[in-house]
Structure 1
Amino acid sequence: MSQRILIVEDEPSISELIAINLLHGAYVVDRAFQADEATQLIRQTMPDLIILDWMLPGKSGVQFAKELRANEATAMVPILMLTAKSEEADKVLGLDSGADDYMTKPFSTKELMARVKALLRRHSRAPSQDELMVLGAMRLDPVTHRVTAEWPNATRREIVVGPTEFRLLQFLMSAPERVHSRAQLLDQVWGNEVFIEERTVDVHIRRLRVALAVAKCDAYIETVRGVGYRATRTPSPNADGDKS
């Protein structure tokens, strides 16, 4: 599955140069020219990495990086900051704002690609097979093969889900906020050697939501129209979880 990178750069020539190199590297690329535009793109599809320019119109890259780190949904997304500022104090400020790495302009595209790969490797550790997963009120334990949730009276009770729905929920919870297409879910949950229709995913998503609705947790599984599904940490209060 290709990793998605968001470029937030207001100079079209630099944005285009970076995008071309990333596309040649088989990454999926989104582009924004200011922070507000980037925020809208992130709400639609969570990137695996953000390449962020320091000097942006309106809201600066430093300010935007601080906001990304303060937001639970984007707190763990790696940020590579680009800037013409090369003084040590500027680099420290950029890293203190939440950037994971820092490159000064002009830069080598080969070095940029190497740093992108290094950041993605560093942040793409898959959850352990026995690692407890938590999403809102839900907990998924791969060892005991149980899903539990806190009921309104603060007691924790088990949610009964089928084996396929368990694997589906486990995969979605392993990457909160990331949108997965039906084809990607079929590949990751059912396996690429299983030949079934993509609409099968909708059936199992519906079953999963019905099971989670008992604990009022169905809204944690969101439909992204025209794209696929995601697990979210911040479900909409008006979400209708039963629609797919």
Structure 2
Amino acid sequence: MGAVADAWTWLTTGANWQGESGVTARLVEHLWFSGVCLLVSCLIALPLALWLGHIGRGGALAVNVSNVGRAVPTLAVLVLLTLTPLGKQGDLPTIIALVLFAVPPLLTNAYVGMREVDRSVIEAARGMGMSGGQVFRRVELPLAYPLVLTGLRSATVQVIATATLAAIAGGGGLGRIITAGFNTSDTGQVVAGALVVGALALVVEGLLVLAGRLCDPMRATRRTRPAGPAAGAPGGAPAAPAKAAA
């Protein structure tokens, strides 16, 4: 409990929240850095996964290739990139390492979400005269939305937690608080930095859950779906094309 008490003392000391090395400045750096990595990851993974899921070809290979990145520690990738000429490009090595780390959950969940859409619903939508693009926008994407959002939440939490490694490469963020604590043998500061990172990850995930519920394109359908075996079964799904057609 001594380390926790020291961490509480450190967190409640106003001076530790001020200045360029304070918690507030490091928090802003951490959020910006994580946001950039997530944006790049989404731009790479989501269009590819949704397209492959829509056409139903090549997705398994793409998922398996992306999952290879999970077997390689992010720290090892960061160290290797830092030793290359990219190490002279500021935060670029850390961004690349975190993007490689965030792509697999985004790609896998989006592709699986698209492929798990009930084929009978898709055929019904096509039978109503919908084009491939309309089926994608009005049927497949809304039904795949929950898994896509799950992948986004997973990637977000992982990036926020792993972005602390940026401090090793000389970057900013909350990791600098932790490394500074190690350098000065201040256990309270190390624990305080870890607590701030954990709290940030939980808060951001909670906000994503709330935003996901508010932005769910099928929120009304999920809310009014009757209870019973048909509620979660494909049999209740044909309502999606009818709503889309309207």
TM-score (norm 1): 0.28
**Structure number with larger C-alpha Rg:** 2
Greater fraction of residues in strand: 1
Greater fraction of residues in helix: 2
- Greater RCO between the two (CA within 8 Å, min separation 6)? 2
TM-score (norm 2): 0.28
